[in-house]
Chain A
């Protein structure tokens, strides 16, 4: 029987790519990986670090296994693991990704004392009254008056935006940044069709809705998918 290679090393201009077979057992793979990397270790110390990206094919690697492979590669001189990619996801991960990319539409008024939380984008058809709060992992779109608190990108997404038909919030939060309404309420004009985003200085800026197409082109999801 011809022995097939379980680990294939390819050189690219960015470094090395390790193709790992997805049919053999994990133990076997680890052993062969170790062997291959040891025999190839003829580089001298002057060489700069080589980045390695690992492609696991259709094998699901748990976090522990990923860590194991990383340490295995790291033990060899001059090698740094850039990424470990696998074609497969667990259902849980897939569901999470789906939820994070989903726009949840809700038709109601978020009243004082109420909190509305969604993992992905929130499309609220109604108002957020003072004392009410909406929290989204992604963007917040309010098709009504936003007078309470809105928190977008709550799981650490600084690219998230908040938009509202009438923008009069008590507080806006995007990721870690917080901005509040001015203390003096002059007879300000109605703030209609506005959006809030984080600029380069980590500050929340409120601007016309139309600036978003340039600042956050990712908002366009015409192609769908992720």
Chain B
């Protein structure tokens, strides 16, 4: 019996889909059976980020409306040996094509076969959000260090706390830019965490490589040399229950102080 994790944020464009793709990939790299579910009906793109767009035959709405069996709609990721699957969203319908109750049943049956169901939630707090959350056991809230994103994350956390089936949500702070934080032009990690007062499960630095990888349909988590990749892999390990310390953010800067620190062997 697996567990279903919904990746949500309220605001659009903070990196829900990228986070879903990478956490899913990182969990598969750890040897878990993972099924990614895209609930952004009408605006799907998890398949694009995963590079699986051309393999889609059936989609979520087909499954819900009984036009096919679940296993027919699941797209297998060739890069993994039977570990990573994607249930794509429909592009031709809209969010009202699915009811929360139906999603619950669907996720429940997927949980029989997979260790982790990663549900990519659409932006907003309407029907699409309700569908995505309906079957989830856990939630990860993605935000960026911007006031507007944090405000929406706060709203979403408030809504998630009302969901009885969902455990208290965990936080991922995405797209952190060191130089802006250092100048005080961006909210820092501590500020966001105290403000939202939920458990922080990962921080991901802003990295051009992430965008490049997404455009090539290869989640960054597959590339072991990127910092963002390590961040996503760490999040996956934390989901699995390992205690992994947060990476220091200031690695990039080669200031005198950090050199000194390195010299004295302080981490």
Contact = CB atoms under 8 A, between A and B. Distances in A.
Interface of A: 109, 111-114, 127, 129-132
Of all A-B residue pairs in the complex, the 4 with the closest CB atoms, nearest first, are A111-B158, A112-B155, A112-B154, A113-B155
Chain B, interface size category, equals 10 to 19
Contacts of A130: 151, 154
Interface of B: 151-152, 154-155, 157-159, 161, 195-197
Contacts of B196: 129
B9 to A, nearest CB: 13
Contacts of A113: 155, 158-159
Given A112-B154, A129-B196, A132-B154, 5 more contacts: A111-B161, A113-B158, A129-B154, A129-B195, A131-B151
B117 to A, nearest CB: 26
A48 to B, nearest CB: 62
B197 A114 contact: no
B195 A112 contact: no
Contacts of A114: 158
Contacts of A127: 195, 197
A129 B159 CA distance: 14
A111 B154 CA distance: 6
B196 to A, nearest CB: 8
A112 B158 contact: yes
Contacts of B161: 111
Nearest to B10: A112
Nearest to B198: A109
Nearest to B147: A130
Contacts of A129: 154, 195-196
Contacts of B197: 109, 127
A15 to B, nearest CB: 57
12 contacts: A109-B197, A111-B155, A111-B157, A111-B158, A112-B151, A113-B155, A113-B158, A127-B195, A129-B154, A130-B154, A131-B155, A132-B154
A127 B193 CA distance: 13
A46 B118 CA distance: 89
A114 B162 CA distance: 11
Contacts of B155: 111-113, 131
A130 B157 CA distance: 13
B141 to A, nearest CB: 11
Contacts of B158: 111-114, 132
A140 to B, nearest CB: 19
A132 B161 CA distance: 15
A132 B197 CA distance: 15
Nearest to A144: B197
A31 to B, nearest CB: 61
B10 to A, nearest CB: 9
A127 B152 CA distance: 16
A208 to B, nearest CB: 24
A171 to B, nearest CB: 15
A112 B154 CA distance: 6
A166 to B, nearest CB: 11
A149 to B, nearest CB: 14
| Residue from A111, A130, A131 whose CB has the most chain B CB atoms within 10 Å | A111
| Residue from B158, B159, B196 whose CB has the most chain A CB atoms within 10 Å | B158
Contacts of A132: 154, 158
A158 to B, nearest CB: 31
B148 to A, nearest CB: 11
| Residue from B151, B154, B161 whose CB has the most chain A CB atoms within 10 Å | B154
A111 B157 CA distance: 8
A160 to B, nearest CB: 26
Nearest to A187: B184
Contacts of B151: 112, 130-131
Contacts of B157: 111
Nearest to A110: B158
B129 to A, nearest CB: 13
Contacts of A131: 151, 154-155
A129 to B, nearest CB: 5
A153 to B, nearest CB: 26
Nearest to A131: B151
A97 to B, nearest CB: 32
Contacts of B195: 127, 129
Nearest to B152: A112
